[in-house]
Amino acid sequence: MRCDEVRRIIVEDWPAEVPAAAREHLRSCHGCATLARDYELVRAGLRALASEPVPEPSWGFSTRLLRRLQESSEREGAEFLERVGRRVVYATLLLTLTLLLALALPPSGPLRGPTAADLYLAQAEVVTAGNAPIYTGESLETNGATLVAPENGEAGNKP
């Protein structure tokens, strides 16, 4: 067998036991024999790792685990309630503040826009003005006084 074939068997196939033909080669080839020895050492080390005792679960491991699961689910529930409760409190506070502001502000002013009642009154004034006679520039007689059209923007009654 050639060196590359023997090394392929050793490294790639990782056999439990080196075939007889390869063993024959190993007797005469120092390089391959060293590789095979190293391979055997690593395998022996891995076998030794496999035989190492594994730590056992301590007494009551599953009970403690289940308790931890219960605690975490209770904590999650409590956190959920706390989150919801906090939001309700914030919403209530916001609503109360809005109501207080609405009560505290004056009925009119720069901070307060026209209310519905104001709009209704304004509309009523417009309607009243619409019913008044349209000024044409001619003099009108009312109760004996004569109204003359103002000139150059001057307004007023002229006798």
Partner 1 sequence: MDSLPPQEAQEVAWIKRAQRGEREAFGFLVERYQRRVFSLIFRMTRRTDEVEDMAQEVFLKVFGAIRSYDFRSPFGAWLSRVVVNHCLDYLRKERASRVTYYWQLGEENLRQVEAHSSNPEASGGDPERQAALRDLVGKLMARAPEGDRIVLTLREVEGLSVDEIAEIMNLKQGTVKVRLHRARKRMLEDFRRWQQGR
Nearer to partner 1, 78 or 145 (CB): 78
Nearer to partner 1, 47 or 154 (CB): 47
How many other CB atoms sit within 10 Å of the CB of residue 22? 20
Tell me how far, at minimum, the Cβ of 3 lies from partner 1, in Å.
16
Nearer to partner 1, 54 or 127 (CB): 54
Distance in angstroms (rounded) separating the CA atoms of residues 80 and 88: 12
Tell me how far, at minimum, the Cβ of 57 lies from partner 1, in Å.
5
Containing 142, the helix (H) or strand (E) segment is strand 140-142
Tell me how far, at minimum, the Cβ of 25 lies from partner 1, in Å.
18
Tell me how far, at minimum, the Cβ of 85 lies from partner 1, in Å.
24
How many other CB atoms sit within 10 Å of the CB of residue 84? 10
Nearer to partner 1, 53 or 159 (CB): 53
Distance in angstroms (rounded) separating the CA atoms of residues 83 and 39: 61
Residues at the contact surface with partner 1, assessed by CB under 8 A: 11-12, 14, 35, 37-46, 48-50, 52, 54-58, 61-66, 68-70, 72
The rounded Cα 77 to chain-centroid distance in angstroms is: 20
Answer for the pair 32, 26: CB distance below 8 angstroms, yes or no. Answer: yes
